[in-house]
Structure 1
Amino acid sequence: MFRKPLGYLLWVVIPFTQGVFAQTNPGAYTVRGIVADSVSRQPIPYATIGITDEQQTPAASAYSGENGTFKMSLQKAGRFKLILSSVGYRPASQPLLIDKEKMLIQLDTLFLAATTVQLSGIQVISQWQLVEQKPGMLVYNAESDISNRGGTAADVLRKAPALNVDPQGKVTMRGSGTLKILVDGKYSGQMARSPADALNMMPANIIRSVEIITSPSARYDAEGAAGVINIITKKGSKSFSGNLEVMASNWEQAFNPRISLSRNRWNMSLHGHLHRAQDKSSAEMERTVLNNGQPTMVIRQETRKNNIMPHSSGELSLGFLPDSLSEISLTVNGWLGNWPDASQQHTVISLPDGTITDQYQQRVGSKEKFAGTDIALGYTRRLKRDGQEITLLAQFSPSKENTSYNSHQWTGDDKTRYREDNVNRTLNREWTFQADYTHPLTADGRYTLQGGLKSIFRHADKRYQVWSADGPPPADMVLQADRSDNFIYSQDVLAGYLLMKMKLPRGWNAEAGSRLESTHIKGHFNAPGSAFSNNFLNLVPTANISKKLDEAQTITLSYTQRLTRPYIWDLNPNANASDPRNITVGNPTLRPETMHQGELSYGWTSPAGTFINAAAFLKKTNNTIIDLTTTNAAGIATTRKENLAGNVQYGLNLSGAVSPTANWSFNSNVNINHLNFESDALMVVNTGWAADFNLNALYKLPGAVSLQAFGEYDTRIVTLQGHKTPRFYYSFSAKKELKATRMTVTLAAINPFNQTIRQKEYIHAASFRTGILNRYYNQALKVTLNWEFGSMFEQRGRKKISNDDVREQSKG
């Protein structure tokens, strides 16, 4: 079955390996070493290493790897100069002598000192730049942003480059929401269930940085059309250390403990999150029903929501080093909570001339109780050859949730007219197995081949029953058999990839690869003849080539193909009719969407730390999975997932950071994109521009006090069937560090001059026009106390499962 596709995969990669061996020079001199921090003695990743000859002509250059190691090749012996630099460190240089008789030069560890300044007699070490450019990604160093104190992961991503986060926590990248969010490079069942919920459950104080990968290589799962977001957390320590954080505001309260311990060959880290949040919003909707373009009915609704959402999460990580070349890791992550969506609603139905034909009140009691666990076991073995490594990973992710609701309608004289109970319970089980291998093809490490295999086995069991009654108690609730069933669903994915990485002469770097993914989907209901199945085979090529123009400038051209698979939340036909005028339902016939993307980017980083990145991109998506709203003659709107014929998107992303003085720093991000939705089958055509802009400013005062201001503005956003009006968000923060006690006090004001975030949404089609005014209450004053004890936290890398292959469920 797989012989022919695998043959295609090898056909793509073999020509690159032939070119590698044709260019290899066995007589080259190899220089190897490690770059590390002079204080912590920890490796420095992505440091720039250059070699110049006696005429100061560049002879070789390289970046240090994740473990701080580097390797370069020289074609002749002689006297040279080794130059090292990295953001946040003082540049360093030293003489380098290449002896004709010694083909391999192993240098002692090279140490870089952090940039420091004297302030009131206290030595202050500079913070990491907020935004950095690294090979294939942009990195937002969240721990350097004081306004993240006491916040959640949604607040962190709101300030990251190329991303946009709406008031409910839904994340988009360059106008697209079909992206994958990983935590420490691994898949999370919590993220797959609902990214918005998961981000609001993750405390900001455990996040070290965020990697934004807009053109993922073949090493990543093909899922996630817009790209991949990898949230890096703080883990590991050389000795005992810990942190306690308490946050309180008028809308939420949280307690976030974390602890880390290392002893001999063992290391352990543990963090928890207890969070009580209040979610308040309101909406005013007006829908005009049309017949041949003429209005026949007007529906007006006022909805109020005010819910308390208690939830918690935690993670335990254990690592064991049986020898200097091996590592065994165990990670257990769990979460549970109750995320209700209860509401009060008033509905008025009238004729176009204003004559009221019906009106009623409705109360909905909705609960969303959930619990889940990710249990991951990993093994890494570094082999004899430098850079040669094999990694084995396995993960089990069980979860369950109850998303039931009950609704009660009554008229103006308090007479009950309708009651409904919808009981909806889901059990999920998922197994993942993964093996990755890295093999350097040449001794100098310029050419590396990576390959791997992966299998994912998913099983979901969703049972739902609907009961209703047309009158008040003691009228009996009657089972609605046509809206009750048991939905059994399985999705199995088998994948393999090959990826070639090449460090070419004159500052060129390239990588090319292919990933083959086979998807098998099965589902059935209790009703006879309701079973369905589908199989997909996708060959996904990726390519990336970059040129380092000089020590400060890099230009990159990349191409990737991605896909998005539907999951049980998209397919489930259980209709959510808690609002009988606005029904949401899944679509079991959905097909995966595929996307082609090309990107040209330019990056510049000055020695002073000024950073600019500009990227132009073009995307073409087929079988796009979208939410389509239709209405019937009674004005009842039904929204469900459909496959749009396709859409084209192009745009520009600009990110930058600058520090005009030692105390001032700014970073900003601008996204501009043009969307074009078109489908003859669905009779939908919509096109237009959209943009978002944010600015982050930080000022350091004497006495270990810092001030920060952040603002974000989104322009009019084009959607499939309409548009959303502009919105804005802003915050101010102040932080005071108490050095003696290692405590930090942070005060933040969120939207202090606006009680709500207001945004209007317009949806229109041939049969209706709808306008919705949404108000999200988030004006807040927040205080956070943070205490660190023991030694400072230091990052320790660990391989993780990264199941970034499933379309996420959108919240709300």
Structure 2
Amino acid sequence: MIKKITFFICCLFTISTTFSQSKDAANTIKIFGKVIDAKTNQPLEYATIIIKNTKTEKVSGGITDLDGNFSIQLPKANYQISVEFISFKSINFPAEEITSNKNLGTIKLAEDTNSLNEIVIVAEKSTVDIRLDKKIYNVGKDMTVKGGTASDVLDNVPSVDVDPEGAVSLRGSENVRILIDGKPSALVGLNGADALRQLPSDAIERVEVITSPSARYDAEGTAGILNIILRKGKAVGFNGSVNVTVGDPQNYQGAVNLNMRTEKVNVFSNFGYNDRKGPGNYLADITYLSNGAIDSLRTEKRNFDRNRAGFNGNVGLEYYLNDDSSITGTVFVRSSNNNSYSTNNISSFDPSGNNLYNSVRIQDEDEKDESLQFSLNYANNFNDKGHKLTVDYQYNASNEFESADIFDTNLEFNSTKEISIDNLFQADYVLPIGESAQFEAGYRGNFQDLTSDYLVVAPNLDPRFNPSNNLEFTQNVNAFYTQFGNKINKFSYLLGLRAEITAIDINLLTTQENYKKRFTDFFPTVNLGYEVNDDQSFTLGYGRRLRRPRSRFLNPFENRASETVISKGNVNLDPTYTNSFDLGYLNRWGKLTLNSSIYYQHSTNNIVRVNREEVRIINNKETNVLVREPINLASEDRMGFEFNANYNPSRKIKLSGSFNFFQFETNGEYTYDITNPTTNTVTSVTQDFDAKNTSWFTRFDARVSLPLDIEWQTRLFYRGPRSDAQSDTDGVFSANLAFSKDILKDKGTLVLNVSDVFNSRKYVTNAFAPSRENPTNISNQTFQWRVRQVSLNFTYRFNQNKSQKERNQQQRDDDGGGDEF
């Protein structure tokens, strides 16, 4: 692996040297600057820079990026420059001979009050935007997630994978922090996986993948941060869209996005309703061994019928106090009612294959989730050079009630009620120093109070393993950070330090157990960048991060869908600490953009889920039970490389792909006791979890313009096989197809989407307990969360002009403008 990395680094520097020498910088100049709103001093993204050669009459130019910046490289000549943005007055610069780099400075565009009632132009961005410090996945033009959820959106983001249980991983690691609009949020909910399946994709504008976060961000998330940005209209006037989806299996969705902006007020909102069914299936073949010989066999065939219905609404108002400051208030509500009905057909056989018994275990589960979030933001721009102060307050309240009736040989009932109250306070101060340096400092306080009441009533439950409990969980985190950055010619750096003071209290009221955890940690960050030229750059990032166990990882409640395969939490978990390094390379050859990186992470006290055995009395018989729970292992080393490429050979074809390869090595032992319920004898078992393995996953995406103005999008995904100390998981392939057609004079769009065309997204795992070397049971499990989905989506826009936004996007694709260097 070291040889591969060394070879890859050599290739990067060889490519850099070759292409940097090919540039003839002697006859080229750079025109750059920044475009902002004269009223609010906010940057104007996608403002158009038009540059006309007065001699040849050739017109070129570019588009501003997220921060309003633009940088355009051209031959020396006499140019006439103009800057335009819809609903704003254009600025024209007189023609002049430009023979050296030209800084147009900060260009302030004033609103054209005569156009406030005209049609609003809303830019529809390209699918993937590659930046030095992050990759931005824009949802707007991705047809394959139309009618989907936030979980579907994340599953289509480069470097990200979502497994069938909804667990999100970044570069193969589940230790990832998910934020909403840069903050922890009730939108993620108490159970992040389920909540992400409730949030419709239409409410999401983009997802930022941050693999080397600066000190400004939470230290939580050892693999990095996924920041989900919700839609917030900014366009002048009144505009909006209506979105309707129907699908099979049942998928009914409706969404409305409305926005109105005047000179002093901007009101934005989105509302959505969904009613979905998600059939799935699970198959487990379990072989029980005794002294290496087969003792018995057990088969479980489980079918799921899930119905999820929910509503979400987001309303915000931004008020401009004056030219330099504004205050924004946002209210978000989410309510869902879910039902899951599973039928588990169980059969047991002796070693000769003779049937011992058959049973059916039925679980009828109801779940109700409610979330309320209120946020208030104050922003004050002291000047137009970036000197600013922002203050945020956010209140989250989440309530989840879940109950299940389980029918087997006896009737079993269990219920969970969770209530979480979260408060967040945040202040960030930015002070530019000179032309290129910047100082930042800030504070963030996260305060969570959670209660969870879990009750299990079952007449045949082994009393030694009754999981009923009442949990009180409090976590307070006070964080302070400071960082300083500067750019010296082509070299830039950002150095930061973050301190986080954590206090955790866990009370198990049923067993009267109390746990207190206190720790203060410092997290340095270093981000370096070097621009070889306008098209090539290198980055190097280092950061220390941690992973705090969530309340559900700590809560020792058991999933009761099966009596013999059980998952639960572990109250004794401690945080994982990780030192992370990332070397990145960005290059653009005309219409091809390549972003690649090599990364290495060393984690201590690593949290992993392991399988262990228990002997329980089930139906008056001693039965080996497989228990899956998280524990702390000694260490894990993870290294790998990835690359993402965008290639637009023509206006009708746009191609993109990503590839991620990683190797992980885990070291550690786990010792636990097994008690025989009949003899009360205790057996101590030590499991060796030393393991080393490699895996990879890749995506390919193609957008093609067909005759009759039909757009065709194809996405292919493959995740390679992987192994650890206790299991082997097969590779997974899936394919999505989508076709779109604009109708009603481009005000409406129809999208036909087929998700998992070949119905192949199934996860097959072989698990060994307690160890590969000396297993007492071997289980072969196949899990399919949902089957192939076909949906039809219709979007109608009012006061939005799609032809103009496509033209803006095409100019961005052709000119290569908008990337942040």
TM-score, normalised by the number of residues in structure 2: 0.80
User: Which string of whole-angstrom CA distances, capped at 9 and with x for unpartnered residues, describes residues 166-218 of structure 1?
Assistant: 34543211101111222222322231523332332222233332211111111
The answer as to 2:497 corresponding to 1:503 is: no
Q: Cα offset for 1:644?
A: 1.7
The answer as to 2:420 corresponding to 1:428 is: yes
Decide whether aligned partners of structure 1 residues 513 and 357 sit closer, same or farther in structure 2, where only a CA change above 3 A counts. Answer: same
Contact 1:744 1:787 (C-alpha < 8 Å) held by counterparts: yes
- Which residue of structure 2 lines up, in the alignment, with residue 721 of structure 1? 726
Q: Secondary structure in 2 aligned to 1:342?
A: strand
User: Which string of whole-angstrom CA distances, capped at 9 and with x for unpartnered residues, describes residues 595-633 of structure 1?
Assistant: 11111111112343x211111111111111121111234
- Which residue of structure 2 lines up, in the alignment, with residue 767 of structure 1? 776
- Which residue of structure 2 lines up, in the alignment, with residue 258 of structure 1? 257
Q: Cα offset for 1:726?
A: 1.2
User: Which string of whole-angstrom CA distances, capped at 9 and with x for unpartnered residues, describes residues 370-402 of structure 1?
Assistant: 111111111111124731111111111111111
Q: Cα offset for 1:491?
A: 0.5
- Which residue of structure 2 lines up, in the alignment, with residue 660 of structure 1? 649
The answer as to 2:477 corresponding to 1:493 is: yes
Q: Secondary structure in 2 aligned to 1:403?
A: strand
- Which residue of structure 2 lines up, in the alignment, with residue 748 of structure 1? 753
- Which residue of structure 2 lines up, in the alignment, with residue 514 of structure 1? 497
Q: Cα offset for 1:42?
A: 8.9
Distance in 2 between residues matched to 1:93 and 1:605, nearest whole Å: 31
Q: Cα offset for 1:480?
A: 9.9
Greater shift in the superposed pair: 561-570 or 165-174: 165-174
- Which residue of structure 2 lines up, in the alignment, with residue 803 of structure 1? none
Equivalences for residues 579-594 of structure 1 within 5 A: 579-594=562-577
- Which residue of structure 2 lines up, in the alignment, with residue 648 of structure 1? 637
Q: Secondary structure in 1 aligned to 2:574?
A: coil
- Which residue of structure 2 lines up, in the alignment, with residue 164 of structure 1? 161
Q: Cα offset for 1:259?
A: 0.6
Decide whether aligned partners of structure 1 residues 656 and 82 sit closer, same or farther in structure 2, where only a CA change above 3 A counts. Answer: farther
| Identity in percent | 23
Tell me the amino acid that sits aligned with residue 383 of structure 1: F
- Which residue of structure 2 lines up, in the alignment, with residue 315 of structure 1? 314
Distance in 2 between residues matched to 1:502 and 1:84, nearest whole Å: 30
- Which residue of structure 2 lines up, in the alignment, with residue 683 of structure 1? 688
Q: Secondary structure in 1 aligned to 2:140?
A: helix
- Which residue of structure 2 lines up, in the alignment, with residue 239 of structure 1? 237
Contiguous gaps of at least 5 residues in structure 2: 1-30, 50-62, 85-92, 111-120, 616-622, 671-686, 806-821
Greater RCO (CA < 8 Å, at least 6 residues apart) = 1
Equivalences for residues 369-388 of structure 1 within 5 A: 369-384=368-383, 386-388=385-387
Tell me the amino acid that sits aligned with residue 429 of structure 1: I
Q: Secondary structure in 2 aligned to 1:136?
A: coil
Q: Cα offset for 1:520?
A: 0.3
- Which residue of structure 1 lines up, in the alignment, with residue 524 of structure 2? 541
Contact 2:190 2:420 (C-alpha < 8 Å) held by counterparts: no
Contact 1:465 1:479 (C-alpha < 8 Å) held by counterparts: no
Distance in 2 between residues matched to 1:48 and 1:499, nearest whole Å: 33
Equivalences for residues 86-165 of structure 1 within 5 A: 95=96, 108-109=107-108, 128-165=125-162
Distance in 2 between residues matched to 1:34 and 1:658, nearest whole Å: 27
User: Which string of whole-angstrom CA distances, capped at 9 and with x for unpartnered residues, describes residues 654-681 of structure 1?
Assistant: 1001111221110111111112222123
The answer as to 2:606 corresponding to 1:624 is: yes
Greater shift in the superposed pair: 189-198 or 243-252: 189-198
Distance in 2 between residues matched to 1:131 and 1:71, nearest whole Å: 20
Contact 1:82 1:96 (C-alpha < 8 Å) held by counterparts: no
Tell me the amino acid that sits aligned with residue 241 of structure 1: N
- Which residue of structure 1 lines up, in the alignment, with residue 57 of structure 2? none
Decide whether aligned partners of structure 1 residues 174 and 436 sit closer, same or farther in structure 2, where only a CA change above 3 A counts. Answer: same
Distance in 2 between residues matched to 1:164 and 1:750, nearest whole Å: 16
Distance in 1 between residues matched to 2:315 and 2:720, nearest whole Å: 42
Equivalences for residues 421-460 of structure 1 within 5 A: 421-442=413-434, 444=435, 446-460=436-450
Distance in 1 between residues matched to 2:500 and 2:526, nearest whole Å: 17
Aligned length in residues: 707
User: Which string of whole-angstrom CA distances, capped at 9 and with x for unpartnered residues, describes residues 19-42 of structure 1?
Assistant: xxxxxxxxxxxx9953379xxx99
Decide whether aligned partners of structure 1 residues 487 and 43 sit closer, same or farther in structure 2, where only a CA change above 3 A counts. Answer: closer
- Which residue of structure 1 lines up, in the alignment, with residue 468 of structure 2? 484
Distance in 1 between residues matched to 2:510 and 2:469, nearest whole Å: 8
Contact 1:468 1:479 (C-alpha < 8 Å) held by counterparts: no
Decide whether aligned partners of structure 1 residues 357 and 666 sit closer, same or farther in structure 2, where only a CA change above 3 A counts. Answer: same
Contiguous gaps of at least 5 residues in structure 1: 1-30, 50-62, 73-78, 87-91, 112-123, 411-417, 471-476, 796-812
Q: Cα offset for 1:508?
A: 0.9
Distance in 2 between residues matched to 1:129 and 1:238, nearest whole Å: 22
Distance in 1 between residues matched to 2:245 and 2:798, nearest whole Å: 18
Distance in 1 between residues matched to 2:131 and 2:191, nearest whole Å: 29
Q: Secondary structure in 2 aligned to 1:404?
A: strand
Distance in 2 between residues matched to 1:651 and 1:173, nearest whole Å: 12
User: Which string of whole-angstrom CA distances, capped at 9 and with x for unpartnered residues, describes residues 231-282 of structure 1?
Assistant: 2233122110111011111121111111111123111111111111111111
Greater shift in the superposed pair: 454-463 or 715-724: 715-724
Decide whether aligned partners of structure 1 residues 584 and 751 sit closer, same or farther in structure 2, where only a CA change above 3 A counts. Answer: closer
User: Which string of whole-angstrom CA distances, capped at 9 and with x for unpartnered residues, describes residues 17-71 of structure 1?
Assistant: xxxxxxxxxxxxxx9953379xxx994559999xxxxxxxxxxxxx978442689
Decide whether aligned partners of structure 1 residues 107 and 467 sit closer, same or farther in structure 2, where only a CA change above 3 A counts. Answer: closer
TM-score, normalised by the number of residues in structure 1: 0.81
Q: Secondary structure in 2 aligned to 1:196?
A: helix
Q: Secondary structure in 1 aligned to 2:188?
A: helix
Decide whether aligned partners of structure 1 residues 526 and 170 sit closer, same or farther in structure 2, where only a CA change above 3 A counts. Answer: closer
Distance in 2 between residues matched to 1:261 and 1:385, nearest whole Å: 25
Q: Cα offset for 1:292?
A: 4.2
Q: Secondary structure in 2 aligned to 1:155?
A: helix
The answer as to 2:698 corresponding to 1:712 is: no
Q: Secondary structure in 2 aligned to 1:736?
A: strand
- Which residue of structure 1 lines up, in the alignment, with residue 295 of structure 2? 296
Stretches of 4+ aligned residues off by more than 6 angstroms: 46-49, 79-86, 96-99, 124-127, 477-481
Picking from 186, 190, 196, the partner of 2:187 is 190
Contact 2:132 2:586 (C-alpha < 8 Å) held by counterparts: no
Tell me the amino acid that sits aligned with residue 783 of structure 1: L
Distance in 2 between residues matched to 1:295 and 1:82, nearest whole Å: 84
Decide whether aligned partners of structure 1 residues 772 and 785 sit closer, same or farther in structure 2, where only a CA change above 3 A counts. Answer: same
Distance in 1 between residues matched to 2:125 and 2:197, nearest whole Å: 25
Decide whether aligned partners of structure 1 residues 739 and 46 sit closer, same or farther in structure 2, where only a CA change above 3 A counts. Answer: closer
Q: Secondary structure in 1 aligned to 2:639?
A: strand
Greater shift in the superposed pair: 554-563 or 772-781: 772-781
Tell me the amino acid that sits aligned with residue 718 of structure 2: Y
Contact 2:153 2:201 (C-alpha < 8 Å) held by counterparts: yes
Q: Cα offset for 1:783?
A: 0.9
Distance in 2 between residues matched to 1:82 and 1:720, nearest whole Å: 66
Greater shift in the superposed pair: 383-392 or 554-563: 383-392
Distance in 2 between residues matched to 1:150 and 1:484, nearest whole Å: 39
Q: Cα offset for 1:158?
A: 2.6
Computed over aligned residues only, the root mean square deviation of the Cα atoms, in angstroms, reads: 3.5
Q: Secondary structure in 2 aligned to 1:551?
A: coil
Q: Cα offset for 1:729?
A: 1.2
